[in-house]
């Protein structure tokens, strides 16, 4: 079973067709890197895959369940994915610890493990509200939430934004471990070196 | 837990937005129904039997409530939460309940006025409320502005800040301005007033009802003023000039709202004097508020300032009648000219 299958995806936003007939797959253990110039639809694609933005046409299947299908399929698909947003930020009034508790409860899994807390330095941000965090801290808090489970598919929208060198190394390590455990990830980024380091298969968007 | 976070992300901001409408509607209700021998049934009866009056009332409520409904119908504050597994029906039930409860002033008016028939009216009007709330207009193609001079450019930035950050508050403000005009007219008519007395009374009502309308616009203006400070300094625009630009934008918005209210009064009572009196009062209130806005850091101070400035204007009008509006305008002018820069 593929971790992610996108079939003939069409997304229109503000009267403009942002994605037009895109097909894409990600196998278990594979990392897909979505690249392209600003405004080409990377975030829109990831929002549709993560179940945030309903596509105009096409089908998105995560771990065998349609993200935009029946209620049961929607729940199964969302349970199998972890999302780090770029545009659709988590509610700013939540503390990081509350965000993790929310994601753990919704996906029926456990809070961040001590190893994850150590690697991402989550203890520093646990009691901060998201709206009071720096960009890098918010990214780490959302990564911590996305990695709970761990999910069959990680959907990461520019996860390296605002991360310092140490945390960037941790992100690379976590993504490699995630793929080695047989889970997939789709990552949008402008950073070619990140793509190289995580060994992603590049999917260019035009 | 998902539902509780969704409620905090969607319903709580909608409730905050609705509170301004409730305040405005409460003031208007006190003016119309408090000791003026008018009952809710009189107003709803007129609205049901006169299509024009009914349309004005319905459009006024649309202007007032659509900005609140937009938050609930679109649910943009909870986009991230859609990526988490959740049941579909609980947020729909909560959203529907919120759409009913947050229309409390409208609901109360129609149930008190028409009973069960009123519920049908509320349900019918809620349909366009939801449709307008869900509507996402196409974004206009951005044009590169050509401003002549730094001060006009700064004013342009403030106006854009208002349009882009407070579009909903502008719509709600227009609704409250219409409501202010209706309330002023009914008070003048029910008391059989004319001339200067009518103008002073209607202008006082407009000044008071405009408080919740203007507060929603002042907060984004304060943000635009604060966030443009470094840019203005780097471009050599003085603090005094910035305060003058801020005051002119606040005055422009406030006077426009007062004009809407005054024109409604003029149309309903034919008291022409209400237009200059209301405009001068609006100018005074706005300049007094601008003085506070230029220095204010917290929102509470701005809200209090708006209430106090409206009260000062009402005192002038109550004491000196229509001529009090000139004193209100002069008070505002002195206040803004004496604002210290830095």
Among B172-176, B240-244, B281-285, which range has the highest average pLDDT? B281-285
Note whether A139 contacts B: Cβ–Cβ < 8 A: no
**Range B139-147 contact pairs with CB under 8 angstroms and sequence separation of 24 or more:** B139/A14, B139/A15
* Mean pLDDT score, B99-106: 94
Which residue out of B7, B8, B80 would a mutagenesis test of the A interface target, given it has the greatest number of A Cβ atoms within 10 Å?
B80
Note whether A52 contacts B: Cβ–Cβ < 8 A: yes
CB contact under 8 A, B84 and A78: yes
- Phi then psi for residue A194, to 5 deg, are -65, -45
- pLDDT value for A23: 94
CA distance B274 to B325: 10
Nearest of A36, A35, A42, A39 to residue A9 by alpha carbon: A42
Query: CB-CB: which of A14, A52, A79 is closest to B85?
Result: A79
Query: CB-CB: which of A78, A98, A105 is closest to B83?
Result: A78
Reported ipTM: the value is: 0.81
pLDDT band at residue B341 under the 50/70/90 scheme: low
Nearest of A76, A74, A43 to residue A186 by alpha carbon: A43
CB B83 within 8 A of CB B4: no
- pLDDT value for B240: 86
CA distance B75 to B70: 8
Nearest of A2, B85, A121, B71 to residue A112 by alpha carbon: A121
Which residue out of A102, A109, A130, A138 would a mutagenesis test of the B interface target, given it has the greatest number of B Cβ atoms within 10 Å?
A102
CB contact under 8 A, A83 and B9: no
Inter-chain Cβ pairs, chain A and chain B, closer than 8 A: 70
Apex CA A19: angle with CA A18 and CA A24, to 5°? 155
Alpha helices in chain A (DSSP H): 42-49, 71-79, 96-106, 114-120, 135-146, 165-180, 192-198
Contacts of B75 in chain A (CB under 8 A): none
* Mean pLDDT score, B93-122: 93
Condensed to tens digits (0 to 9), the pLDDT of residues A139-169 reads: 999 999 999 989 999 999 999 888 889 889 9
CB contact under 8 A, B85 and A50: no
CB contact under 8 A, A51 and B81: no
Condensed to tens digits (0 to 9), the pLDDT of residues B128-170 reads: 999 999 888 776 666 777 777 788 888 888 888 888 888 888 9
Mean pLDDT, chain B, whole residue set: 89
Nearest of B242, B246, B238, B244 to residue B220 by alpha carbon: B246
Which residue out of B5, B16, B83, B92 would a mutagenesis test of the A interface target, given it has the greatest number of A Cβ atoms within 10 Å?
B83
- pLDDT value for B283: 95
Condensed to tens digits (0 to 9), the pLDDT of residues B309-334 reads: 999 999 999 999 999 999 999 999 99
Instruction: Provide CB contacts within 8 A for A177, sequence distance 6+.
Output: none
- B74/chain A closest Cα distance in angstroms: 12
Query: CB-CB: which of B2, B78, B83 is closest to A51?
Result: B83
Task: Name the residue in chain B with its Cα closest to that of A90.
Answer: B80
Query: CB-CB: which of A51, A52, A94 is closest to B5?
Result: A94
Q: What is the widest separation between alpha-carbon atoms in chain A?
A: 46
CA distance B58 to B248: 32
Q: CA-CA distances (angstroms) from residue A12 to A58, B75, B134?
A: 12, 19, 16
CA distance A111 to A148: 7
- Phi then psi for residue B184, to 5 deg, are -60, -45
- pLDDT value for B140: 67
DSSP character string of A37-61: STTSSHHHHHHHHTTSS--SEEEEE
- Phi then psi for residue A21, to 5 deg, are 70, 45
Note whether B140 contacts A: Cβ–Cβ < 8 A: no
CA distance A21 to B57: 47
Contacts of B14 in chain A (CB under 8 A): none
- Asked whether residue B13 carries a pLDDT value surpassing 90, the answer given is yes
Report, as ranges of residue numbers, the positions in chain A whose pLDDT lies below 70: 87-88
- B127/chain A closest Cα distance in angstroms: 23
pLDDT band at residue B15 under the 50/70/90 scheme: very high
């Amino acid at each position: 079973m593929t971790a992610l299958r996108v079939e003939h995806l069409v997304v229109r936003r503000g009267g403009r067709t942002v994605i037009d007939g895109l097909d894409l797959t990600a196998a278990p253990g594979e990392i897909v890197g979505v690249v392209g110039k600003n405004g080409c639809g990377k975030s829109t694609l990831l929002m549709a895959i993560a179940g945030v933005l309903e596509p105009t046409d096409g089908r998105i299947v995560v771990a065998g369940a349609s993200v935009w299908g029946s209620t049961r399929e929607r729940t199964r698909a969302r349970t199998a994915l972890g999302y780090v947003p770029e545009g659709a930020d988590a509610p700013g009034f939540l503390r990081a610890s509350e965000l993790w508790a929310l994601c753990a409860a919704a996906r029926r899994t456990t809070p961040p493990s001590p190893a994850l807390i150590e690697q991402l330095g989550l203890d520093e941000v646990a009691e901060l509200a998201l709206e009071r965090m720096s960009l890098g801290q918010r990214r780490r808090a959302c990564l911590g939430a996305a990695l709970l489970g761990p999910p069959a598919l990680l959907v990461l929208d520019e996860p390296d934004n605002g991360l310092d060198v140490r945390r960037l190394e941790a992100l690379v390590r976590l993504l490699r471990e995630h793929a080695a455990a047989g889970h997939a990830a789709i990552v949008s980024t402008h950073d070619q070196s990140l793509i190289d380091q995580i060994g992603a298969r590049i999917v260019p968007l035009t | 837990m998902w539902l509780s976070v969704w409620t905090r992300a969607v319903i709580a901001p909608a409730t905050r937005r609705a509170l301004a409408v409730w305040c405005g509607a409460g003031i208007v209700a006190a003016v119309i129904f408090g000791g003026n021998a008018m009952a809710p049934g009189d107003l709803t009866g007129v609205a049901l039997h006169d299509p024009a009056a009914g349309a004005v009332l319905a459009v006024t409520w649309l202007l007032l409530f659509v900005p609140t409904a937009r938050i609930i119908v679109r649910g943009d504050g909870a986009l991230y939460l859609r990526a988490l597994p959740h049941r579909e029906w609980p947020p729909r039930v909560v959203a529907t309940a919120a759409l009913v409860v947050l229309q409390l002033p409208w609901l109360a008016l129609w149930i008190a006025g028409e009973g069960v028939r009123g519920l049908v009216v509320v349900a019918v009007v809620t349909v366009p409320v939801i449709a307008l709330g869900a509507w996402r207009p196409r974004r206009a193609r951005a044009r590169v502005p050509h401003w002549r001079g730094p001060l006009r450019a700064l004013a342009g930035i403030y106006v854009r800040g208002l349009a882009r950050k407070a579009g909903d508050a502008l719509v709600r403000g227009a609704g409250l301005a219409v409501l202010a005009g209706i309330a002023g007219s009914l008070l003048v008519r029910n008391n059989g007033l004319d001339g200067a007395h009518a103008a002073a009374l209607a202008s006082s009502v407009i000044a008071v009802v405009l408080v919740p309308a203007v507060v929603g616009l002042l907060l984004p203006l304060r943000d635009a003023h604060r966030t443009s400070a470094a840019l203005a300094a780097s471009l050599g625009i003085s603090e005094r000039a910035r305060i003058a630009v801020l005051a002119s934008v606040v005055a422009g918005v406030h006077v426009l709202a007062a004009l809407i209210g005054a024109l409604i009064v003029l149309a309903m009572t034919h008291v022409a004097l209400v237009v200059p009196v209301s405009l001068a009062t609006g100018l005074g209130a706005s300049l007094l508020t601008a003085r506070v806005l230029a220095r204010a850091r917290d929102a509470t101070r701005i809200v209090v300032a708006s209430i106090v400035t409206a009260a000062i204007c009402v005192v002038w009008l109550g004491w000196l009648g229509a001529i009090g509006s000139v004193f209100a305008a002069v008070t505002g002018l002195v206040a803004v000219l004496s604002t210290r820069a830095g």
